[in-house]
Structure 1
Amino acid sequence: MHRLLLIDDDEALAGPLTQYLARFDLQLEAVTRPSAALERLAAERFDALILDGMLPEMDGFEFCKRLRASNDAWRDMPILMLTARGDLTDRVVGLELGADDYLPKPFEPRELAARLQTILRRTRFAPLAASAVAQVASKLCFEGLEIDTTRREVRCSSGLVELTGTEYELLLMLAREPGKVFSRDDILNRLRGQEAELFTRAVDILVSRLRRKLEPLAALKTLRNAGYCFALPEKQA
């Protein structure tokens, strides 16, 4: 059974949601404040967070950002944002800050359960994939660019490139298979496991921001009506 931590100031939500998710072997526990969530995370093990966008102390977007930027053991825990702020801009911001999925209120509990199962399933296989990559090489080296997969750092000739978690994941996915064309749906499904048609525009925004951070390197190539690929040649030893 997977343990989930809900961070939502609507106390009436926790009871019925706990009962419903139990049908899917998902054990839900709830807190109403980010500070209480941090205390629980430090004391217990959880498999994923359900994070409301509107919270006391700080909003869910800021909490997600701080969690991903921390050095705590739970920094890479899957996060599903559950909030009334459902327009596209807020969804893109949530994903860029490191959320793994985004479900606006009001929502169907069955859809929430399905999305949670998706991100938990993806997380279960992620350590195996990361281990396999580490055995091959801890660094991916290209002309003018180096990706350290152990430190999760990206460097170019001018120094360290500051990327969000989502930007790093996108770059790493493309760089592991240089020249391979990934469609927008491929990228969304590989990185987030969501319904791709809801966030197709989000990929264009992410690629645009990543491309600007990597300038003047022409690392990302756009193929009209096809998608994107990594275009830098590998560095010769």
Structure 2
Amino acid sequence: MRDNDQPLVLVVDDEVDLVTLLTYNLEREGYRVLAAYDGEEALLLASEQRPDLVLLDWMLPHVSGLDVCRQLRRGSRKIHDIPVIMLTARGEEGDRIRGLNSGADDYVAKPFSTPELMARIKAVLRRALPPHADEILMYSDLIMDLSAHKVRRGNRDVHLGPTEFRLLRHFMQHPGRVFSREQLLDIVWGHDVYVELRTVDVHIRRLRKALNEHVVGDSKLVEPVDLIRTIRSAGYALDREAQA
């Protein structure tokens, strides 16, 4: 957040009327707003201005919303953890999964309720803020610096999206404890936002993939232990011993 405590939201959509409507409602809620009408402009503004959140349409000229989201997640440290809410008329379950797999933190289908969208924006921004300053969490070969918003495993940095960061933070604060999908939804996403249970599985897969990338050292690949344990019909836990 900035010194004036007014979050900056980047609205990305090629429909001028919708951008105008969203800008009006966001400014009425106290946000500052940037607008982009295609994917290339969105990436440029994100890099230059570093918004606190991006409202991103799927179907965009030049660069699609999915590709914009992927490029943000692969981008520099300045932009890779910007929260993204995908706005799209593609409301099928498969499309929602694709949107989440691209790195989006939430997914809102058009036409949408403006009050619901504002509630989702508040929830995503609230989740994106680290709750503790100057705190270091450690488990096995993982180190999480909450104040710097950094994660290391062994000798390498682990690059996580904001939702994966919150999931890992919760697991590291409660190692060995099993959490159901419902519990993780309430804790990580919040009580006031409707998110499907399968969303948890998508983000767990992304977290597991980021943690388990091969570590290169001494000219050989070292396969790291999978720290995320899946308990059938129960949920997930951070548990090194169970995977050894």
Confirm or deny that 1:147 pairs with 2:147.
Answer: no
Shift of 1:116: 0.8
Q: Distance in 2 between matches of 1:45 and 1:162?
A: 21
Q: Distance in 2 between matches of 1:46 and 1:148?
A: 27
Match of 1:34 in 2: 39
Out of 186, 189, 194, the residue aligned to residue 186 of structure 2 is 189
Out of 208, 220, 229, the residue aligned to residue 221 of structure 1 is 229
Structure 2 unaligned residues grouped into runs of 5+: 1-5, 213-222
Identity of aligned residues (%): 34
Out of 45, 54, 57, the residue aligned to residue 49 of structure 1 is 54
Q: After superposition, what is the alpha-carbon deviation per residue over 1:19-65, rounded to whole angstroms, capped at 9, x for unaligned?
A: 22222112333111122223323443532110111111221111111
Q: After superposition, what is the alpha-carbon deviation per residue over 1:84-103, rounded to whole angstroms, capped at 9, x for unaligned?
A: 12222222332233322111
Q: Distance in 2 between matches of 1:168 and 1:32?
A: 29
8 Å contact kept, 2:100–2:202: no
Q: Distance in 2 between matches of 1:181 and 1:119?
A: 24
In structure 2, the CA distance between the partners of 1:75 and 1:220, relative to structure 1 (3 Å rule), is closer
Amino acid at match of 1:231: D
Query: How well do the aligned residues superpose, as a CA RMSD in angstroms?
Result: 3.2
Q: Secondary structure at the match of 2:240?
A: coil
Match of 1:232 in 2: 240
Q: Secondary structure at the match of 1:73?
A: coil
Match of 1:178 in 2: 175
TM-score, L = length of structure 2: 0.74
- Which is further off, 107-116 or 193-202? 193-202
Q: After superposition, what is the alpha-carbon deviation per residue over 1:146-172, rounded to whole angstroms, capped at 9, x for unaligned?
A: 2243553445xxx97987635565345
Q: Secondary structure at the match of 2:199?
A: helix
Q: Secondary structure at the match of 2:108?
A: strand
- Which is further off, 1-10 or 213-222? 213-222
Q: Distance in 2 between matches of 1:217 and 1:196?
A: 33
Q: Secondary structure at the match of 1:152?
A: strand
Q: Secondary structure at the match of 1:20?
A: helix
Confirm or deny that 1:64 pairs with 2:69.
Answer: yes
Shift of 1:7: 0.8
In structure 2, the CA distance between the partners of 1:70 and 1:148, relative to structure 1 (3 Å rule), is farther
Structure 1 unaligned residues grouped into runs of 5+: none
Q: Distance in 2 between matches of 1:121 and 1:101?
A: 13
TM-score, L = length of structure 1: 0.76
Count of aligned positions: 221
In structure 2, the CA distance between the partners of 1:35 and 1:209, relative to structure 1 (3 Å rule), is closer
Match of 1:133 in 2: 135
Q: Distance in 1 between matches of 2:190 and 2:160?
A: 18
- Which is further off, 53-62 or 13-22? 13-22
Amino acid at match of 2:196: F
Match of 1:91 in 2: 96
Q: Secondary structure at the match of 1:30?
A: strand
In structure 2, the CA distance between the partners of 1:218 and 1:5, relative to structure 1 (3 Å rule), is closer
Shift of 1:198: 3.6
Higher helix share: 1
Q: Distance in 1 between matches of 2:126 and 2:175?
A: 27
Amino acid at match of 1:229: A
